[in-house]
Amino acid sequence: MMQFPCPHCGPRAQSEFIYERTLDSVVPLNAPPEEAMTKLFTRNNPRGVDDEIWRHTYGCRAWMVLTRHRVTNEISGCRAIGPEALP
Amino acid sequence: MSRYSAFSLLRGALTGDRHWQPAWRDPEPKSHYDIIIIGGGGHGLATAYYLAKVHGLKNIAVLEKGWIGGGNTGRNTTIVRSNYRLEPLHNLFEFGLKLWHGLSDELNYNVMFSPRGAMFLGHSDADMVKLAERGDAMRCDGIDADLLTRDQVAKIEPLLDMSRDARFPIQGGLIQRRGGTARHDAVAWGYARGADSLGVDIIQKCEVTGFVRDGDFVLGVETSRGRIGAGRVGICVAGNSGHVAGLAGLKLPIESQTLQAMVTEGVKPMINSVIMSQSLHCYISQSDKGGIVFGGDPDNWPSYAQRGNPMVMEGAVAQGLALVPALSRLRMVRTWSGVTDMSFDGAPIIGETPLRNLFLNGGWCYGGFKATPASGYTYAHTLATGKPHALNAPFALDRFERGATIDETGSGPMPNSR
């Protein structure tokens, strides 16, 4: 199991978190159809580092952006999500 | 290639077993092939085999970054079935199931296909309605499916917890008696031996690092063993689909996740069929060596790590123990995991890409093993003719933008909720 550095609660077990989707797949409210299609149905899916949205469901319940390596599981960042993080 | 037979075994036994030869060659890559298949798993090797056998093509290479059958082909739970509700899915998998039934003879290689029956459990009235609907859909297309009562399920699997206060009460089931299991490594090896004997070059330890392009045309691949030209290139790399397509600048409707499986020590026969529960997502069978093989949900977040997470494993084990309490007496000896290519409607993608001469076979989610012969056969047709076979036409890459998804579970474009 991984340990996530929640920006509000500190290091916590992964079992408290639920994965939502990658940051690149958030559909902006005013997205034209082509962009909405791409965001909904495709992913960068790199064999390397990507930004993911997780929720500390069984903790502070806040959403956050986790930067994680998809092979090594190394976590290089975790930041709170706020209005400025939304596309 | 010398044919395997009881006679050759006997003759070998009398001459000190000196007759064994390598089952396939280890050739150096040529500078150009008519068709290059990226990925030496079951699907890639089957594709090469049918290209040579059915379409008579000779100048074919399979490029594998590690060793053949070392990815998901060697990391699954070997279940073979065709019991899907939606027509395009059950037609494709049924075509494969028919090939499975003659595969050992076709390849002159024992793939140990064992049609012991694949049984879904129903835990509620709603489950039973769903299973009946699925069975009806299958029978409409001539595929065998039998709805079972609670007593019939108990007769097939006496060790299931059938008590009234069971954690997951069992109301009945749906069995496909022609389904079962096979020996996964033998499938890769059998297809490799067959393809090699028809002239296909199987090149291991050869990783594709890029594509040679002229505008929208793909002319070949860059590899760890140099540049290789090709008339057509077929991607067939399962969990690494997103990575390899990314080398060509494509963004796919695929998210890679880890799926774990595990096996216990070997015991005498105790599980007679393949027990599956889709409400729980747990599947249990017994290997020919006696080990109880079981698995559960994927780790529902993106990952290319070929190792699992104990948290998810615990969930799968808890489900297995609730269904078959006797399993609690067994020791788990091995766990493993593969990288599954979760597509955005749960169905595979076989067909053309936006680039000319580049084709894709991927997105099999956690159900690719059973499709190995059908995937290879239809992909070979697509690569040889440049057009999809009738069976894989519905599985085109552009179906998502056309709104023509094939969503068996109806869960929408969320790979982590499948």
Query: Who's near B394: CB < 8 A, 6+ residues apart?
Result: B88, B404, B406
Q: How far does the CA of residue A84 sit from the closest CA of chain B (Å)?
A: 25
pLDDT tens by residue, A47-76: 999 999 999 999 999 999 999 999 999 999
Establish if A80 touches chain B: CB-CB under 8 angstroms. Answer: no
CB B134 within 8 A of CB B145: yes
| Residue burial B229-248, b: 16+ Cβ < 10 Å; e: rest | ebbbbbbbbbbbbbbbbbeb
Residue B33: per-residue pLDDT: 98
Establish if A37 touches chain B: CB-CB under 8 angstroms. Answer: yes
Question: Cα(B229)–Cα(B213) distance, rounded to whole angstroms?
Answer: 10
Task: Name the B residues in 312-351 with CB < 8 Å from any A CB.
Answer: 344
Displacement of CA B215 from its chain's centroid (Å):
34
Question: Cα(B418)–Cα(B415) distance, rounded to whole angstroms?
Answer: 6
Q: Any idea how long chain B is?
A: 418
pLDDT tens by residue, B118-172: 999 999 999 999 999 999 999 999 999 999 999 999 999 999 999 989 999 999 9
Strands (E), B243-290: 254-266, 274-277, 282-286
* Selection from B223, B243, B117, B95 nearest residue B173 by Cα: B117
Q: How far does the CA of residue B247 sit from the closest CA of chain A (Å)?
A: 10
The yes-or-no verdict on residue A86 having pLDDT over 60 is no
Question: Cα(B95)–Cα(B418) distance, rounded to whole angstroms?
Answer: 25
pLDDT tens by residue, B207-216: 999 999 999 9
Sequence-separated contacts (24+) of B371-374 with Cβ below 8 Å: B371/B43, B371/B92, B371/B93, B371/B96, B372/B42, B372/B43, B372/B46, B372/B73, B372/B96, B372/B187, B372/B191, B373/B46, B373/B96, B373/B99, B373/B100, B373/B103, B374/B92, B374/B93, B374/B95, B374/B96, B374/B99
Joined together, the tokens standing for residue B118 give 């694949």
Chain A environment of B310 (Cβ under 8 Å): 1
Chain A environment of B400 (Cβ under 8 Å): 37, 41-42
Residues of chain B with pLDDT under 70: 418
* Selection from B260, B247, B294, B250 nearest residue B274 by Cα: B294
Establish if B354 touches chain A: CB-CB under 8 angstroms. Answer: no
Q: Residue B28: what are its φ and ψ, rounded to 5°?
A: -75, 145
Residue B164: per-residue pLDDT: 85
| Structural domains of chain B ordered from first start | 28-78+184-254+345-417 (3.50.50.60), 116-179+256-338 (3.30.9.10)
Residue B108: per-residue pLDDT: 96
Residue B281: per-residue pLDDT: 87
* Cross-chain residue pair A44–B243, CB shorter than 8 Å: no
Joined together, the tokens standing for residue B20 give 């064994």
Residue A87: per-residue pLDDT: 52
What Cα–Cα distance (Å) separates residue B15 from each residue in A31, B7, B67, B146? 74, 12, 31, 50
* CB-closest option in A1, A22, A73 to B305: A73
Establish if B152 touches chain A: CB-CB under 8 angstroms. Answer: no
Residue B64: per-residue pLDDT: 98
The strand pair at B282-286 and B274-277 is best described as antiparallel
> Which of B301, B353, B360 is the best mutation test for A, with the most CBs of A within 10 A?
B301
Establish if A3 touches chain B: CB-CB under 8 angstroms. Answer: no
pLDDT tens by residue, B271-298: 999 999 988 889 999 999 999 999 998 9
| Structural domains of chain A ordered from first start | 3-27+43-85 (3.30.2270.10)
- Find where tokens 């089957």 sit: B46
* Cross-chain residue pair B256–A45, CB shorter than 8 Å: yes
Joined together, the tokens standing for residue B231 give 């008339």
